[in-house]
Amino acid sequence: MKIIAFVGHSDSGKTRLIARLVPELKKRGLTMAIVKHCSHGFDLGSEDKDSSKFLAAGADAVALAAPGQTAVLQNRDRDGNLAAFAREHFSMLDLVLVEGGKHDARLKKIEVLRHDHSERPQTPPQELAAVVADYNAVPDLPLFHPDQVKEIAEWLIRILDLANP
């Protein structure tokens, strides 16, 4: 399993890019998961939902199962290690794309920039693998336009050595 993170300011286009990359990578036979880093937490159900009641009662985990879907909610302390989380839950897959995780120095990153919104990369150079921007930026790194989804997919397969998963 390989992991790469997509980072950038809010509204820079990370979600849109990942959503367009998934079918392109799936066409090439890859299995994958997306980990959405939620730095401010999240809630899949209000306090009156059974799953919330079970977690509030002290359950370490609650699984929701429906035809064709499952979800697992866990009460646990994490050190923010998204790679360890991905290995624990998705080791059977070829690729994990992380949306967010800009503060996790253990992740290689693609920074998404948008003109008049985020003008230059904020990622430390040793963590930055490429830039996706709607303008010419950072000439010494691989640079892609957000519409170059096929090229980004091919580049990811090559640099992550996913040609024969």
CATH code assigned at 124 = 3.40.50.300
pTM of the model: 0.86
87 residue type, one letter = R
Question: Taking a C-beta distance cutoff of 8 angstroms, is the pair 108, 46 a contact?
Answer: no
d(CA 93, CA 1) in angstroms, rounded, equals 6
The verdict on residue 164 lying in a domain is: no
Give 43's contacts (C-beta < 8 A, 6+ positions apart): 52
Question: Taking a C-beta distance cutoff of 8 angstroms, is the pair 159, 1 a contact?
Answer: no
Instruction: Name the phi and psi angles at 46, rounded to 5.
Output: -70, 170
Question: Taking a C-beta distance cutoff of 8 angstroms, is the pair 17, 112 a contact?
Answer: yes
Question: Taking a C-beta distance cutoff of 8 angstroms, is the pair 130, 142 a contact?
Answer: yes
What pLDDT score does 118 carry? 81
What pLDDT score does 2 carry? 95
d(CA 73, CA 36) in angstroms, rounded, equals 14
d(CA 141, CA 122) in angstroms, rounded, equals 14
What pLDDT score does 40 carry? 61
d(CA 141, CA 137) in angstroms, rounded, equals 9
The verdict on residue 48 lying in a domain is: no
What pLDDT score does 13 carry? 93
| Residue 149 token pair | 């989804």
Print pLDDT tens along the chain (165 aa).
999 999 999 889 999 999 999 999 999 999 999 998 876 666 566 667 788 888 888 888 888 888 988 888 877 666 668 888 889 889 999 999 999 989 889 999 999 999 888 878 889 999 999 999 998 877 688 999 999 999 999 999 999 999 865
The verdict on residue 17 lying in a domain is: yes
| Domain tally, the chain | 1
- The partner residues of 128 in beta bridges, in order of sequence, read 109
What pLDDT score does 78 carry? 62
- What is the extent of the structural domain holding 81? 2-41+77-159
What pLDDT score does 41 carry? 62
Q: Is the dihedral of CA 12, 9, 118, 135 positive or negative?
A: negative
